[in-house]
Amino acid sequence: MAKVKVAVNGYGTIGKRVADAVTLQPDMVLVGIGKTRPSFEARRAAERGYPIFIAGNGSKADFDAAGLATAGPVDAMIASADVVVDCAPEKVGRENAKKYLAAGVRAIFQGGEKADIAEMSFNALANFDRARDRKTVRVVSCNTTGLARAASVIVPHWGVTAWEATIVRRAADPAESNRGPINGIVPTFELPSHHGPDVRTIFPDLRIATTAVVVPTTLMHVHVNHVILTRPPADAGAVIARFRQTARFHLFAPWEHVDGTPQVMEYARDRPNGRPDMMENVLWDAGVRVDGSDLYFFQAIHQESIVVPENIDAIRAMFGLAESGAASIATTDRALSIPTP
C-alpha cells in the first residue's frame, strides 16, 4: 500500500514534533511543513530536509533573506497531501480549515480548536475506530488526552460514578519567552473548567468535573484526581497493575525517587529516544490510593508531546492503515521508541 502523504501546517511546539514523528512511521511520508517566517525551527526543518512551504502571511523574501529555500506557497503543500495536520496556534486552525475544505483534503486539528471544527474528537485508546474514514478529526488537548487515556482504563474496569480532577497547569512552555512562569498561583475562574466538557466529547456519559490553577513551572501539568468508582477493586494494587499493563502509561516505583516533574523530565532527557519528551501519562505507584469506592491518583502530563502519538494514530485510523487501535498504537510507539508494557 502506498504511504499516506502527510503535510504539517504550523511548525511550532506541536508541529515540529508531529513532523518528526511522521518521518519515523513505516506507512507515512512527510510532504512538507507550513511555516510563516524564518526562525531557528525553520532552520532545523531545512537541516532535516523537510520542504518548507510559506504559510499564513509569510513572505518568500524573508525566507530568501535568511538563506532558507522554500518549496512554494502553503496551498501547493495542501494540494500535494492526503492529509494536513494543522498545528497552527489556537483559533488559526479554523481559518486554515477553509483552505483544506476548498482543496478537498482531509485534516486533523489540535485541541486549541473548538470541538465543532471536526467530525469527531479523538483519543487512540478511547475511540480509534470512530475515526475510520473520517475527513476531519480533532486530537484533543494535552490535558484532555491525559484524562481520556485514564478514563479508557478506569471506565471499563471499575465504572465511574463521579470524577473530580484539579489540573495544576504549567504557566508556559519552556521555549516561550513572551509569557514566563508567573510568580504566584493563579486560579482559573472558569468553574468548572472546560476540560470536563472536553473529555465528554470522547466519553459523553462520563460524570467528570474539572478545575484548574496555573503555577510557576514549565515542567508538565499535574492532575489531582478523585474518582468515585461504581465497582471498586479491593485495593490500589489492581489499579496500578492495570495502568502498568496499558500502553502510554508510565509508572514510577517508590525506589526510583521521582519526587515530582523535575525528575520525570530528567528521566525523559536520559531516555535514548531522540527528543527528551514524555509522551505517556506519568503516574506514581505511591500516588494511587483506593479507599472503599474512592480512587485517588496523581498523573503528570508532558504538554509538549503527549498529543504527538495521538496525531499519528488519528492518521492511521482515517486511512484504515491499522486493523485496530491497539495495532496502530503498537506501530506508533515502536517507531517513537515509547516503551511498550
Pick from 48, 59, 60, 90 the residue near ligand NAD by CB under 6 A: 90
Pick from 96, 136, 201, 331 the residue near ligand NAD by CB under 6 A: 96
| Cβ-proximal residue to ligand NAD, closest one | 12
Nearer to ligand NAD, 8 or 335 (CB): 8
Nearer to ligand NAD, 165 or 239 (CB): 165
φ and ψ at residue 194, rounded to 5 degrees: -70, -10
DSSP annotation of 116 reads G
Question: How many CB atoms neighbour CB 126 within 10 A?
Answer: 20
Using the contact rule CB under 6 A, the part of the chain among 105-113, 122-130, 180-188, 291-299 near ligand NAD is 105-113
Pick from 32, 51, 111, 196 the residue near ligand NAD by CB under 6 A: 111
70 lines the binding site for ligand NAD (CB under 6 A): no
Spatial strand order of the sheet with 281-291 comes to 186-187, 208-215, 160-170, 221-229, 294-301, 281-291, 249-252
Q: Strands (DSSP E) along 125-192, which ranges?
A: 136-139, 160-170, 186-187
Which grid cell sits at 278?
514524555
Pick from 211, 303, 311, 332 the residue near ligand NAD by CB under 6 A: 303
**Alpha-carbon distance 50 to 299, whole Å?**
35
Whether the upstream peptide bond of residue 276 has omega within 30° of 0, thus cis, is no
Q: Let me know if 87 is a catalytic residue.
A: no
Beta bridge partners of 283: 251, 299
88 lines the binding site for ligand NAD (CB under 6 A): yes
Nearer to ligand NAD, 152 or 303 (CB): 303
Using the contact rule CB under 6 A, the part of the chain among 4-12, 199-207, 242-250, 290-298 near ligand NAD is 4-12
Catalytic residue among 85, 142, 219, 312: 142
What is the torsional sign of CA 319, 321, 323, 324? negative
Active site residues: 142
Site for ligand NAD, rule CB under 6 A: 9-15, 34, 36, 55-56, 87-90, 92, 96, 110-113, 141-142, 173, 303-304, 307
